[in-house]
Structure 1
Amino acid sequence: MALAIVVDADACPVKQEIIQAARRFQAHVLMVASLDHRLAEEPGVTVVQVDRSDQSADLYIANHLAPGNILVTQDFGLATIGLAKRAFVLSNRGQEYTDENIDFLLESRHEHAKKRRSGHYGKGPKPFTAQDRERFLHSLTKLLQSLQENKPGERISNTCQLE
């Protein structure tokens, strides 16, 4: 089974890093984005453009994700679907979503949404940094290495922890 990386590409700041790592490990990349985002196909990269509705990319990914794929998303809901489909899921900042941490992340998102509805606004997400980019590439590379070293069809534990 060939390695495949599925990317929720609308707001993904690490597309080039994904392509770079995929080439190194001979993995195929599927970038899914709305029509508002112009993405070019290149060798080893398939681009699927979906309509502009806010869930179109997520629905496409959910319907095409397979066990053992790597999903890159910053959407906790889509990450949950990916985990249920037995995919490996990374955030754009290199955090691995697992069965052990996804409930906490969803609850935290819910609590922040309740605060916003009651008029308490936070500072928003931290700016994306070069260190975030490096952490992501390190996490993806480590996961790809681990998957490549295991036998086809063998499910490894989600052990791509940040250092």
Structure 2
Amino acid sequence: MTQIWVDADACPLPVKDMLIRAAERTGVQITFVANQPIRLPAGLPMNAVQVPPGFDVADNYIVQHAQAKDLVITQDIPLASEVVKLGVVAVSPRGQLHTPESIGQRLAIRDLMSDLRDAGMVRGGPPPFANSDRQQFAKQLDSWLAHRPKT
């Protein structure tokens, strides 16, 4: 049975709330993975996995447990790249779908931006989470829920 995996350390609250509503509505299993405790409502097909602190520990857990056709929600482009190779659907909390065709370019842009930040040529991070991001994520989530294998 397919399920949703959430790289939860940096998951925006509106996305978490949408996922909770999706679990209530559809019964889809959702696993939040983080290196800190996560509170979830009781009685839903959801669980939280707390991994030890460390670089990429949560990411590695998700890569080891996600299966083809599952959905992984992450802002981490390298994690998205790893799970896409496994046949997993990867979506950012802003609703950006990562595909085998797009992930290479996104990794290259990520690396370029990191180099530019390191050189002091670019400052700041992504813009604040907006309503348009919420809508785009909801669209991707609804699409995956509608098309996921139920067995």
TM-score in same-fold range (> 0.5): yes
User: Any stretches of 5+ residues in structure 1 without a counterpart?
Assistant: 153-163
Q: How many residues get paired? A: 148
Tell me, yes or no, if structure 1 residue 119 matches structure 2 residue 120: yes
Tell me, yes or no, if structure 1 residue 56 matches structure 2 residue 53: no
Partner of 1:3: 2
Once the two structures are superposed, what CA deviation does each residue of 1:17-53 show, in whole Å capped at 9, x if it has no partner? 1121233222100100112x43335321011001121
TM-fit CA distance, 1:138: 1.6
Q: Is the 8 A contact 1:18 1:137 kept in 2?
A: no
Provide the C-alpha distance between the structure 1 equivalents of 2:23 and 2:137, rounded to a whole number of angstroms.
13
Equivalent positions of 1:60-75 (< 5 A) are 60-75=61-76
Once the two structures are superposed, what CA deviation does each residue of 1:26-81 show, in whole Å capped at 9, x if it has no partner? 2100100112x433353210110011213111111111111111110010010011
Give aligned-pair identity as a percent. Answer: 34
Partner of 2:99: 98
Equivalent positions of 1:24-35 (< 5 A) are 24-35=25-36
> CA, structure 1 residues 49+41, in 2 after alignment: closer, same or farther (shift >3 Å)?
farther
Provide the C-alpha distance between the structure 2 equivalents of 1:39 and 1:26, rounded to a whole number of angstroms.
18
Tell me, yes or no, if structure 1 residue 40 matches structure 2 residue 40: yes
Provide the C-alpha distance between the structure 1 equivalents of 2:134 and 2:113, rounded to a whole number of angstroms.
25
Provide the C-alpha distance between the structure 1 equivalents of 2:38 and 2:90, rounded to a whole number of angstroms.
24
Larger relative helix fraction: 2
Give the 3-state SS of the residue equivalent to 2:136 in structure 1. Answer: helix
After superposing on structure 2, the runs of 4+ consecutive aligned residues of structure 1 that deviate more than 4 Å are none
Give the TM-score of the pair, scaled to structure 1. Answer: 0.84
Higher alpha-carbon deviation: 126-135 or 72-81: 126-135
Provide the C-alpha distance between the structure 2 equivalents of 1:23 and 1:81, rounded to a whole number of angstroms.
29
Provide the C-alpha distance between the structure 2 equivalents of 1:4 and 1:56, rounded to a whole number of angstroms.
20
Partner amino acid, structure 2, of 1:39:
R
Aligned-residue RMSD, C-alpha:
1.6
Provide the C-alpha distance between the structure 1 equivalents of 2:11 and 2:5, rounded to a whole number of angstroms.
12
Once the two structures are superposed, what CA deviation does each residue of 1:73-125 show, in whole Å capped at 9, x if it has no partner? 01001001111111111110111100111011000011111112222123320
Provide the C-alpha distance between the structure 2 equivalents of 1:72 and 1:130, rounded to a whole number of angstroms.
18
